[in-house]
Amino acid sequence: MIDRRTFIFGAAGGLILGAAAKRAGAALRPVETRSLPATGMAIPVIGLGSWITFNVGDSPDLLRQSTEVIRAFVEDGGGMIDSSPMYGSAQATIGHALGQLGRPANVFHTDKVWTSSVSGGAAQIKESARHWGVARFDLLQIHNLRAWEGHLETLMAMKEAGEVRYVGITTSHGRRHGSLERVMREHPIDFVQLTYNPVDRAAEDRLLPLAQERGIGVIVNRPFQGGRLADRLSRHALPPLAQETGAASWAQLILQHIVSHPAITVVIPATTQVDHVRENKAAGRLALLDPGMRRRIADHIRAL
């Protein structure tokens, strides 16, 4: 089901990738991509989150820094940028950056609906699109299953009308997996978003196999546990097994572990740092790991 094709994410995306490669003075290996189960469209496995990191208000300095992060992301293949009306000014920051960067074509615009008022959903989506500066989103998700029955109707109708390409539903921190499973079984959604990393592996039991079975794309949030896992591991030396996998850092080892699960479509680490975007993106070019190596990594991290 998961097809790992070499990637050209639209013509403009290819051009930008080419430009970045030229600037780097070397042939940049294309970023690993996954086909979206529903349509076969390819998308880079390393996306970009925006919780906290892009909530910078009107600060010109921080808007500039955020733009540089998004520039690095776009130059390195782009892909999914995920936000939500819950994230303060993050949507506006992304909109600002995309405007500055000339609206790059290789961004997979991903947002959420987050309101307990079902009738208020459409207006909120419109407001979100205004912040992003886009006419429509590639993917709209129901944030934390909030009022999901009603919003799902709205989103499906929008999809039918061509106002959004894909529809999904999110959770995090391992919450409400029972409800999520029910939605996945009973409704034709394109994506689920959930927390998954070498430490938080609750999704492995039922949700990831179910996603594969039903052809639902999986977006992984909190790969670094909101930074806590990355901080904790930074106090330990990178284990020798990283030499076997090719990961140059803990962050890369974690991302490599995550995207090597065959059910995963994209992981969306958030960062404020250009170096970290590049490092994370580079993890998408590492070899995929077999289940044995994935187990060794998880065991090693758990034992630390």
Ligand X SMILES: NC(=O)c1ccc[n+]([C@@H]2O[C@H](COP(=O)([O-])OP(=O)(O)OC[C@H]3O[C@@H](n4cnc5c(N)ncnc54)[C@H](OP(=O)(O)O)[C@@H]3O)[C@@H](O)[C@H]2O)c1
Q: Which residues of the chain form contacts with another protein (CB under 8 A)?
A: 51-53, 55-59, 61-62, 86-89, 116, 144, 146-147, 173, 175-176, 226, 272
Residue 193 touches ligand X, criterion: CB under 6 A:
yes
Question: 88, 124, 163, 172: which one contacts ligand X (CB under 6 A)?
Answer: 172
Burial (Cβ within 10 Å: 0-12, 13-18, ≥19) of residue 78: buried
- Give DSSP secondary structure letters for 154-181: HHHHHHHTTSEEEEEEE--TTTTHHHHH
Answer yes or no: are the C-beta atoms of 32 and 45 closer than 8 Å.
yes
Q: Least distance to another protein from the beta carbon of 89, Å? A: 5
Among 7, 28, 37, 51, binds ligand X (CB under 6 A): 51
Q: Tell me how far, at minimum, the Cβ of 193 lies from another protein, in Å.
A: 16
Residue of 96, 143, 151, 281 that binds ligand X (CB under 6 A): 143
What does R_g of the chain's alpha carbons equal in angstroms?
Answer: 18
**In residues, how long is the chain?**
304
Q: Could you tell me if 251 and 238 are in contact, meaning their C-beta atoms sit under 8 angstroms apart?
A: no
Binding partner of residue 50 among another protein, ligand X, none, CB under 5 to 8 Å per kind? ligand X
Site string for ligand X, 229-268 (x = CB under 6 A): -x--------------------x----------------x
Name residue, tokens 């499906």.
156
Q: DSSP for 208-247? A: HHHHHHHT-EEEEE-TTGGGHHHHHHTTSPPPTHHHHHT-
Q: Does 282 bind ligand X (CB under 6 A)?
A: no
Q: How far apart are CA 67 and CA 62, in angstroms?
A: 8
Cα–Cα distance measured from residue 84 to residue 73, given in angstroms and rounded to the nearest whole number: 19
Binding status of residue 79 toward ligand X by CB under 6 A: no
- Rule CB under 6 A: is residue 91 a binding residue for ligand X? no
Q: Is 93 in the site for ligand X (CB under 6 A)?
A: no
- Of 33-41, 49-57, 208-216, 256-264, the segment contacting ligand X by CB under 6 A is 49-57
Residues that bind ligand X (CB under 6 A): 49-51, 53, 82, 143-144, 170-172, 193, 221-227, 230, 251, 268-273, 276, 279-280
